[in-house]
Amino acid sequence: MNTNLTPFSALTPDIILNALDSIGLHSDGRLLALNSYENRVYQVGMADASFIVTKFYRPERWTTAAILEEHAFIQDLFDAEIPVVPAIPFGENQTLIHADGFRFSVFPRQGGRVPELDGRDKLEWMGRFIARIHAVGALKPFKERPTLDIAGFGDNPRAFLLANNFIPADLIEAYRSVSEHALDGVRCCFERAGKVKNIRLHGDCYPGNILWTDDGPHFVDFDDSRMGPAIQDLWMLLSGDRADMTVQLNHLLSGYRTFYDFDTRELHLIEALRTLRLIHYSAWIARRWDDPAFPMAFPWFDTPRYWQDRIIELREQIALMNEGPLELV
């Protein structure tokens, strides 16, 4: 497996097309890179004028067993008639194929548009959709994929950022202090919520990972799927001020409760999970900085302004975590 600091440097068009050819998918040479930083995803034209989508997984991010567990979860959802896009099996029912040191999968091309969740009907529809996923996700746990927790999304990313000279010297103490207090606030939120149930989740449920058609929404990327509280797949669909988010949450849960129960104690976790995501996101960029795609995509990351904004952001999160949870009506 390719283990250098630029893990996709050896992934040439010839390797991609030869890999597909090896499983009987013969391309006409049309190759379009799709928007993905963690992996490399391409729309490929086939000789019969159709299209497929292929994903080449970032080396060493997930074990083979963890990727196959993701594929099995998506297939479980598909079998339950939930609109998701499972990997296409080849050979002896293999959904993950090895070629030239890379692992890749193939998916049918699925159209749609990124939704604007701007009304009650769409939010209730999304709530029903996510609840159906959670009803299947709760049937059994992941064994190979991790659980969303404070250590993995907060403590460890913070330690990485502080230890690797990404934060400007004149801001590092401010970041150290505010991130410490923010994680203290996260722990308090989790304590207020108590022992909530962890289930299999989509894990990265924001509008960019949703495509909407006339038939409704579907997800196209379960790469961050893991164990965690149900609210993780709901809070990223909320936006605006507290009043706006309250209305949106009530609409989501109105649809959600049609198919799955919701533990209201998880409302204490919304701002805590947002705080963890903010810290984890900065560390995610930092860990990938040697991949040439990242400095090109995030040129502002190593500027003082970026870290000044993160410090302000975390201070705001500390205040928000001290407020009561959003209210249900």
| Given the residues 76, 204, 233, 291, the one annotated as active site | 204
Query: Which two three-digit tokens encode residue 120?
Result: 């009650």
Active site annotation includes 204 = yes
How far is it, in rounded angstroms, from Cα 126 to Cα 34? 24
User: Which residue, among 144, 138, 35, has the nearest Cα to 96 in the 3D structure?
Assistant: 144
How far is it, in rounded angstroms, from Cα 212 to Cα 193? 33
- CA-CA-CA-CA torsion for 214, 199, 327, 212, nearest 10 degrees? -10
Q: What single-letter DSSP state applies at residue 88? A: P
How far is it, in rounded angstroms, from Cα 140 to Cα 262? 18
Q: Are 56 and 103 in contact (CB under 8 A)?
A: yes
| Given the residues 76, 155, 221, 223, the one annotated as active site | 221
Angular region, 24: left φ>0, alpha ψ -120 to 50, beta rest: left
Helix (H) or strand (E) holding 177: helix 172-193
Active site annotation includes 221 = yes
Q: Are 124 and 131 in contact (CB under 8 A)?
A: no
Contacts of 261 (CB under 8 A, 6+ apart): none
The residues carrying an active-site annotation are 204, 221
